[in-house]
Amino acid sequence: MSIELTGINKRYGDFAAVDNVDLHVESGELLALLGPSGSGKTTLLRIIAGLETPDSGSIAFHGADATDTHVRERQVGFVFQHYALFGHMTIFENVAFGLRVRPRRHRPSAAAIRRKVLTLLELVQLDWLADRYPHQLSGGQRQRIALARALATEPRVLLLDEPFGALDAKVRQELRRWLRRLHDEVHVTSVFVTHDQEEALEVSDRVVVMNHGRIEQIGTPDNVYDHPASPFVLEFLGHVNRLPTADAKGDAVYARPHEIAVSLQPGPNAWPARLAHSATVGPVTRLEFALAQGDVPINVELSREAFRTLALAQGGIAYLRPTRLRHFATAA
Amino acid sequence: MITALAATLPAAHPATGAAESALVRRVLIGVALAFLAVFLFVPLAFVFFEALKKGWDVYVAAIIEPDAVSAILLTLLVAAIAVPANLVFGVAAAWSIARFSFPGKSVLTTLIDLPFSVSPVISGLIYVLVFGLQGWFGPWLREHDLKVIFAVPGIVLATMFVTFPFVARELIPLMQTQGNEQEEAATVLGAGGWQMFWRVTLPNIKWGLLYGVILCNARAMGEFGAVSVVSGHIRGATNTLPLHVEILYNEYQFAAAFAVASLLALLALVTLALKYVVERRARAAAIPTGESAR
């Protein structure tokens, strides 16, 4: 089921939460809405769900206009940031809720509901928790139950608001890989909101980078990372150094920390710099250099081994040569 | 010498600190208990003592006397109308204040507290001025042969006015902290408005709601000031329990007055017991929601 957004606007007073957004979500893809807080990504997701009404613009599901369809009839699955599980119901009843509230003539039989719920609980690998209550579950388990509950009504699209936001780092990583596998299995058109670029790049088929209510860039994870369309995208997707220079056209020049070579020997296009600080985090060593010219520190990332081989002491002089430069006319 | 001093220091220091706070603690607890004893336990015991002083027969006679029975029935009738009405109003008001933003919301929130800040006598007087013979609707009511003041409708109105904050005030903060994510989740899953209310909203607020209803009921049955102004004190017709107690007392029928008063005291004790149970259940129910909100 594809989703088509055309000219969506949403204002809160003077604040433009979503500013004239057009977006096409392909049938069956897993799309990430990525942006800093206040960039309008959650508002956009809630507009797709029907939880917010856009001031103008239209939404179509698979070509059929859904702008005025009530959230109840929109047949979307929504996973809330804090899961919003019903605390007074068992896990089984939580998942069964969407089926039980159907009008009598569309409601499956009790046996069919039971089968469906147990199948879903097996899908999220938590069938053994059916009789527990939400407060007895861990964060990651609640997350998966929220997903099972959303899938129970066989939604046309699945929407997830910061699905991993409230989890600790390790569970987060496991869950996002699990979500990717689950999506490959069920193949429902899915949109998820995140402020974590790593999450967006790892999980999604395509990434939509948002800023100030507008879409900055849409593309595959490789595409937006390698070919950022604006300095904002470049800076938001990973760390970057702005070099204290300009190219022939007067454009600003940027280099990512891992795209700078460090040598003890001077060379062409190499900048002399003094090592101000170094820190090794796992396999990566992060170096901070002070350039002879300009007072902006330059951050460089080397593998632990490369740094050891280099044998550069703090305060030592090295030569930095960017292996890849990015140019942007708008010097932000 | 130095080592001995050093050895005693860590132990000695907290000991002095604890001794001081123990004294303060004892004084504070003593004051609180003495206060409770003088202002609560002694009067309560006195009510039952006076009520039963002339024996069980006098006690029972005072309660089954027709005017007393009429007062009991009227009190129950008033509560039976005022409490459900305020339950519906309280839920509606709390829902609109906690869930929607609209112009005049802060004014409405403040107005809900009005009955708490106005003297009950004034509350009663308002209804006399509006519905009394000299009031705005007085002539119209008279033409249609309707009696509000010095009749049961006036008593119900005054009681409703005095007790309407209880449910709403209990629910507003509760619903505001709970937020509406669960309700949104229910709607996205296809639940209609009533399904959402019965299956999600009500189970989440039920203990707070019950707590508000218990307090509302206690006040509805015990209200004196506002009811006194609009009642007219007609024996066997417009006397509620508190008014009946006052009349008996003024007629020097002390044993009977205390016998009827003991019913109200019992109501208070039952209310306290229920309140205690509900508070515990509410706290037990709040722990899981608190966790899932994190």
pLDDT tens readout for residues A238-256: 888 888 777 767 788 888 8
Q: Which of B199, B200, B292 sits opposite A134 (nearest CB)?
A: B292
**Single-letter residue type at B197:** F
**Single-letter residue type at B81:** I
pLDDT category at A330 given cuts 50, 70, 90 is low
Superfamily of domain B54-284: MetI-like (1.10.3720.10)
* Chain A, nearest residue to B180 by Cα: A84
Does residue A329 surpass a pLDDT of 90? no
| Cβ contact B181–A149 (<8 Å) | no
Instruction: Collapse the DSSP code of B195 into the 3-class scheme (helix H, G, I; strand E, B; otherwise coil) and give the result.
Output: helix
Q: How many CB pairs under 8 A join A and B?
A: 80
> In this prediction, does ipTM exceed 0.90?
no
Distance CA A161, CA A168 (A): 16
Residue A8 backbone class (left: φ over 0; alpha: ψ -120 to 50; beta: rest): beta
Interchain contact A77–B (C-beta under 8 A): yes
Average pLDDT, chain B: 83
Q: So what's the pLDDT on residue B276? A: 87
Q: Would you list which residues of chain B are within 8 Å, Cβ to Cβ, of chain A?
A: 181-182, 184-192, 195, 199-200, 203-204, 285, 287-289, 291-294
Quick: pLDDT tens for A35-94: 998 899 999 999 999 999 999 999 999 888 988 889 888 899 999 988 999 999 999 999
Place of tokens 């009404």: A53
pLDDT category at A190 given cuts 50, 70, 90 is very high
Average pLDDT, chain A: 89
| Cβ contact B185–A80 (<8 Å) | yes
A3-12 and A56-61 beta bridge pairing: antiparallel
Lowest mean pLDDT, pick from A79-93, A218-232, A257-271: A257-271
Q: Which of B181, B200, B287 sits opposite A80 (nearest CB)?
A: B181
Which residues contact residue A107 at a Cβ distance below 8 angstroms, ignoring those fewer than 6 apart? A99, A100
* Cβ contacts of A166 on chain B, cutoff 8 Å: 294
Number of Cβ within 10 Å of residue A221's Cβ equals 19
- Alpha helix (H) residue ranges in chain B: 2-36, 42-51, 56-64, 66-99, 105-112, 114-117, 120-131, 138-143, 152-163, 165-178, 181-188, 193-196, 202-222, 225-231, 241-250, 254-293
Distance from CA of B166 to the nearest CA of A (A): 25
Which residues contact residue B65 at a Cβ distance below 8 angstroms, ignoring those fewer than 6 apart? B256
pLDDT category at A317 given cuts 50, 70, 90 is confident
Quick: pLDDT tens for B133-156: 777 877 888 888 778 778 888 889
pLDDT category at B39 given cuts 50, 70, 90 is confident
Interchain contact A225–B (C-beta under 8 A): no
pTM of the prediction? 0.79
Place of tokens 């019965």: B198
Mean pLDDT value of segment B56-71: 86
* Cβ contacts of B283 on chain A, cutoff 8 Å: none
